């Protein structure tokens, strides 16, 4: 694997850039692996990487039906934060944020993680009450946060209309300063490159169509568009298609799939140096390093597998930006797209075993799994390799939907899901 550094860049430049190797090997599948991971998004690739790096399990394949990062991992709005309500979630997302803080160095890949902070704005005294409780819970759980008054928000976000006469007047809010954004493709490519260097096979253009079962019912392989592949264990991290794959394995998941849309504008000069989320309107906005405003809103109101946008959401989200950020009213939108997210009743993820022996699952991240790619991969790899849940993932087992030990993060999930 080429080591990426300034020195190497100069050396390669002097040789006409002819010495670079592909970042990862494009593999054709072998007949047998110790572990197969279905889904080449961030979570699947991170699981494969940590299986190899943390547990020495290198006979691993990642099977992706399209191209790596072609699902939600390459379609999201790149916000990373750990500002959840319950202790279980704080432990999980803080673990992830801490892994993100050293990820570029570990993977030798610039993921462009920028800890520019995230401000949640409150528009009424009810929003403010919720914000105070939310921030209080974060502090109790050891996650950094500060309450903000209107003047502090106005100083930090000059483009925001904080006037009491505004349609959505800002009455205060709170900030997590360690939150921020990272380049989503770079996270996918960084994990792919590091996993490949440790021996993981990355197979693109290979669709999983079924599971191979032993006489006792365990999963012992997969049926794919490239034929049968045998494995001791299979993990799946297929986000919006989790219930489709579970159906192939013969069980049902408490998952509903929805389209979630996002937008990017034409590039502007620097105008917004933090992430802003408006509680009442569900709109959030940041500015990318290229200068585009990256904008998100709520889920579509009906379930769907259609990865495309629609007019009612454009109207709602763009209207909300125009009301709250008057200087952005004349900015033109460049692109608009959707991804399919997997929503569970308590808005918290599922990481661990399925009812079928030999088959493991990572799903249920809804609108917020980009921030959790490192921890999702770390903890699923731990479960597959050791047979026991990782301590931070223990509360997030599928069996909670039977026991009733739900972790209901609906109110603190940012974009409700
Ligand atoms: C518009 C939008 C904005 C978002 N914004 C944020 C945000 O700001 N912050 C945040 O934390 N999260 C955000 N999210 C959520 C986040 O993107 C996802 O939770 C996360 O990327 C899920 O990663 P994954 O690896 O599980 O799934 P994916 O990246 O979707 O990867 C799953 C892969 O499985 C593959 N697959 C499916 N079926 C099969 C099959 N049969 N055979 C083989 N392969 C298969 C797919 O092709 C896909 O590549 C957003 C999502 C969207 C759609």
Distance in Å, CA 71 to ligand 1 centroid: 5
pLDDT tens track for 100-139: 999 999 999 999 999 999 999 999 999 999 999 999 999 9
- Six-digit token pair at 413? 């999930």
Q: Note the pLDDT tens digit of each residue in 78-109.
A: 999 999 999 999 999 999 999 999 999 999 99
Residue with structure tokens 């709602």? 316
For the entire predicted model, the pTM comes to: 0.98
Residues contacting ligand 1 via CB (< 6 Å) = 38-44, 63-66, 70-73, 75-79, 207-208, 237-239, 241, 245, 260-262, 296, 339, 341, 365, 367-371
Mean pLDDT within 31-60: 98
What ligand 1 atom has the least distance to the C-alpha of 261?
1
- Band of the pLDDT at 279, cuts 50, 70, 90? confident
Q: What pLDDT shows up at residue 190?
A: 98
CB 116 within 8 A of CB 156: no
pLDDT band for position 417 (cuts 50, 70, 90) = confident
- Ligand 1 atom closest to residue 339's alpha carbon, by position in its atom list: 53
Q: For residue 365, which atom of ligand 1 is closest to its CA?
A: 19
Mean pLDDT within 167-172: 96
CA of 73 relative to ligand 1 center, distance in Å: 4
Q: What proportion of the chain, given as a percentage, has pLDDT over 90? A: 96
Q: At what angle do helices 42-55 and 184-197 cross, to 10 degrees?
A: 40
Rounded Cα–Cα distance for residues 29 and 127 (Å): 52
Distance CA 364, CA 380 (A): 13
pLDDT of residue 411: 82
Task: Give the ligand 1 atom nearest the CA of 341.
Answer: 53
Residue 252 has pLDDT above 80, yes or no: yes
**Backbone phi and psi for residue 403, each to the nearest 5 degrees, phi listed first:** -80, -25
pLDDT digits (tens, 9 = 90+) for 175-211: 999 999 999 999 999 999 999 999 999 999 999 999 9
Residue 280 predicted with pLDDT over 90: no
Q: How far is the CA of 146 from the centre of ligand 1 (A)?
A: 31
DSSP string across 287-330? E-TTSEEEEEEEEEEEE-------HHHHHHHHHHHHHH-GGGTT
pLDDT digits (tens, 9 = 90+) for 137-158: 999 999 999 999 999 999 999 9
Which pLDDT value is given to residue 226?
98
- Closest C-alpha to ligand 1, atom 39: 65
């Amino acid at each position: 694997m080429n080591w990426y550094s300034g020195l190497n860049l100069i050396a390669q430049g002097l040789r006409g850039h002819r010495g670079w190797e592909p970042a990862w090997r494009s593999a054709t599948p072998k007949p047998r692996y110790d572990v197969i991971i279905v889904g080449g998004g961030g979570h699947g690739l991170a699981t494969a990487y940590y299986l190899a790096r943390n547990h020495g399990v290198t006979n691993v394949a990642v099977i992706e039906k399209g191209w790596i990062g072609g699902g939600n991992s390459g379609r999201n709005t790149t916000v990373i934060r750990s500002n959840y309500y319950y202790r279980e979630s704080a432990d999980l997302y803080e673990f992830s944020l801490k892994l993100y803080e050293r990820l570029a160095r570990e993977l030798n890949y610039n993921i462009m993680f920028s800890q520019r902070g995230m401000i949640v704005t409150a528009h009424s005294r009810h929003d403010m009450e919720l914000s105070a409780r939310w921030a209080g819970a974060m502090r109790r759980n050891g996650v950094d946060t500060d309450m903000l008054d209107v003047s502090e928000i106005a100083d930090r976000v000059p483009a925001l209309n904080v006037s009491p006469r505004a349609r959505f007047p800002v009455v205060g809010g709170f900030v997590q300063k360690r939150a921020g954004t990272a380049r989503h493709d770079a996270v996918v490519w960084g994990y792919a490159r590091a996993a490949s260097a440790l021996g993981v096979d990355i197979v693109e253009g290979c669709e999983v169509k079924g599971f191979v079962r032993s006489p006792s019912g365990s999963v012992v392989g997969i049926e794919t568009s490239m034929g049968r592949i045998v494995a001791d264990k299979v993990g799946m991290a297929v986000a919006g298609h989790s219930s489709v794959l579970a159906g192939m394995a013969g069980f049902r998941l408490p998952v509903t799939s929805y389209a979630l849309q996002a937008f990017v504008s034409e590039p502007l000069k620097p105008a917004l140096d933090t992430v802003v989320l408006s509680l009442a309107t569900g709109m959030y906005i940041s500015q990318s390093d290229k200068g585009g405003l990256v904008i998100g809103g709520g889920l579509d109101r009906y379930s769907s597998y259609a990865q495309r946008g629609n007019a009612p959401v454009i109207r709602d989200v763009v209207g909300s930006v125009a009301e709250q950020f008057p200087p952005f009213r004349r900015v033109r939108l460049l692109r608009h797209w959707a991804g399919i997210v997997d929503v569970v009743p308590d808005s918290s993820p599922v990481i661990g075993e399925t009812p079928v022996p030999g088959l493991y699952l990572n799903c249920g991240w809804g609108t917020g799994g980009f921030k959790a790619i490192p921890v999702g991969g770390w903890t699923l790899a731990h479960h597959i390799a050791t047979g026991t849940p990782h301590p931070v993932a223990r509360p997030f087992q599928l069996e909670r939907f039977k026991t009733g030990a739900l972790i209901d993060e609906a109110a603190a999930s940012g974009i409700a899901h």
